[in-house]
A = this chain, B = another copy of it.
Amino acid sequence: MLGVLGGMGPMATVDFLAKLVRATPAGRDQDHIPTLVCSAVDIPDRAAAILGTGPDPLPAMRAALARLEAGGATRIAIPCNTAHHWHAALQAGTGLPILHIVDAVAETLAETPAGFMAGTGTGGRIGLLATDGTLRAGLYRERLGRRGLACVGPDPEGQAAVAAAIRLVKAHRVAEARPLLEAQVRALAAAGCDRVVMACTEIPLALSGSAASGLLVDATEALARACVAACRDDADPLPRAA
């Protein structure tokens, strides 16, 4: 049973679950992945903690993980990019494998080689739309860097606009968030990025169906697809050599 450590934010978790259902080949209820979701909305703000301006969210994340374990989860996904700053700490406290959202994005990027999507071939820099916390923690920069991919974020003014847009989405003000984010997608494209990762799970809620979508890589969707693949492997393990 897939365990989803969610609620960061609640609608982003719903978006992840919808993408999980759509990514599953199914003709009836019983074909889908059994899932236990903890929408732990009491987890303190992740970005604020990384920036040193808010309390540590790790205890509340550990409590939610314990609920999922008690309920019978056997594999964990976390549909919040910033929360992956605590991935290693969470993984150290449980025997259940926790998927990593940046690895899922890396898989998606590998399927669509640099320069392919926009046809520009300008060197394959990866633009990031993310929280201040995700950028400060270097989550994508380090993990994609190991695969030879260079990441760039918006300039300081642009990043302030992204952070404001994320807050607007959390307050159900999606229509106001969208133009702020589209402007930063254009700025990243102008700076030589031929792919822009929506590296905060609030962002696809605002950019769904955007004209910029040819450039965009959806981390939420990537995590959903990785879950479907992992759970299919759980159900049908490959034959092993003796």
- Could you tell me which A residues sit within 8 Å of B by CB distance? 7-11, 13-14, 17-18, 21-22, 24, 26-45, 67-68, 70-72, 167, 170-172
Contacts and interface: CB of A to CB of B under 8 A. Distances in A.
Given A28-B170, A67-B72, A71-B71, A35 B18 contact: no
22 contacts: A7-B29, A9-B29, A10-B17, A11-B21, A26-B172, A27-B170, A27-B171, A28-B167, A28-B170, A29-B43, A35-B38, A35-B41, A36-B37, A36-B38, A36-B39, A36-B71, A37-B37, A37-B38, A67-B72, A68-B71, A70-B71, A71-B71
Contacts of A26: 171-172
Contacts of A24: 10
Nearest to A24: B10
Contact of A29 (B8, B18, B70): B8
A43 B32 CA distance: 11
A231 to B, nearest CB: 11
A35 to B, nearest CB: 4
| Copies of this polypeptide in the complex | 2
A41 B70 CA distance: 19
Contacts of A10: 17, 21, 24, 29, 32, 35
A201 to B, nearest CB: 11
Given A29-B43, A30-B42, 8 more contacts: A7-B34, A8-B29, A13-B17, A26-B171, A26-B172, A27-B170, A34-B40, A37-B38
B34 A37 contact: no
Nearest to A44: B30
Given A22-B172, A67-B71, A71-B68, A35 B39 contact: yes
A24 B11 CA distance: 11
Q: 3 closest A-B pairs (Cβ-Cβ)?
A: A71-B71, A37-B37, A35-B39
